A and B are shown apart, each in its own frame.
Chain A
Amino acid sequence: MDALMLDGNAVAGILQEVFAVEMTTAIGTCNRCGGTDRVGALHVFRGAGIVMRCPHCDNALVTIVEDGTRVWIGFAGVRTLQVTV
């Protein structure tokens, strides 16, 4: 366990900025282990960017990089994202 780890609640602001809906209650499915979790419950690590990992298998689900005017979001490890619209 990494003491610097956060969770999906910590990135609620940037996700809502991009998707324009509340995202911590969206449900993601991991494309490696098939685990499903609320985005708020995902493990989050901050470095040069942000990596969101599966709490079951540690798969890198989402990466977020910002440079002040743009944001790059990758969903390399997400099979589906269920969002209430």
Chain B
Amino acid sequence: MNWRVAEVVNVVPETPRVKTVAFDVPGWPGHRAGQHVDVRLTAEDGYQAQRSYSIASVPDGTRVELTVERLEDGEVSPYLTDGLRPGDRIELRGPVGGYFVWEPSQGGPLLLVAGGSGVVPLMAMIRARAVAGSDIDARLLFSSRSWEEVIYRGELERLGGGGLTVVHTLTRSQPPGWAGYARRVDAEMLVEVGPSPSRLPGVYVCGPTPFVEAVAEALVELGHEPHRVRTERFGPTGGE
């Protein structure tokens, strides 16, 4: 698995702290929803920093999109979100991972639970489902701090329906008249969003570590089989 040179095609803001960077990666072999890439940056003095990012896009030739949240004390993310312009080049290795992966042929029902930028690999699954024309029962429970910080908000509104249900919870502030959830994800919320454990849904949980721990524990207590609850943690930061 070699490092490949990836050229920035465009950069699109998603929220005040999150951007989607689209790359052209010659020789890209394609990928599955939920897989990652390793990104490597090399400074002029030779110092290298490397991080893993989920792929946001569905396979589309040599185009690969990453959606990146800027971490204020981060070594790599501020450069990806604020330092890149079309034509810039970075190094990228992948796709990697096979555990936190979903393909339309696996069928449903599907329960996706996202905390902040943990939505990225789950969005790749939602997009793959849409591209495949699948109508399986898929539910996204998406926890964000505020309405302004909901990543992919417009696209999720457009993709909803036809078997896809999107439920938001806004943990820190809510717009006037907000009638949805306004607390952290808990067992009661998971019961209401469903589907029931008896339907044996495939469950994917991604977000900051404390979020994933709490959600996965609640899911297992509700009766979801531990091996059906796949998790991906990205450390301490991000929305919740």
Q: Chain A: residues with CB nearer than 8 A to chain B?
A: 1-10, 12-14, 16-17, 20, 22, 24-25, 38-41, 68
Contact = CB atoms under 8 A, between A and B. Distances in A.
Nearest to A42: B99
Size bracket of the B interface: 20 to 34
A71 to B, nearest CB: 13
A7 B208 CA distance: 11
Among A16, A25, A39, find the residue whose CB has the most chain B CB atoms closer than 10 A: A16
- B interface, over-half SS: strand
Given A17-B1, A22-B98, A9 B210 contact: no
A40 B100 contact: yes
Nearest to B48: A68
Interface in B178-226: 208-210, 213
A20 B98 CA distance: 13
B231 interface: yes
A51 to B, nearest CB: 15
Contact of A12 (B97, B210, B231): B97
Interface in B1-33: 1
Contacts of A20: 1
CB-based closest 4 A-B pairs = A40-B99, A24-B99, A3-B236, A13-B38
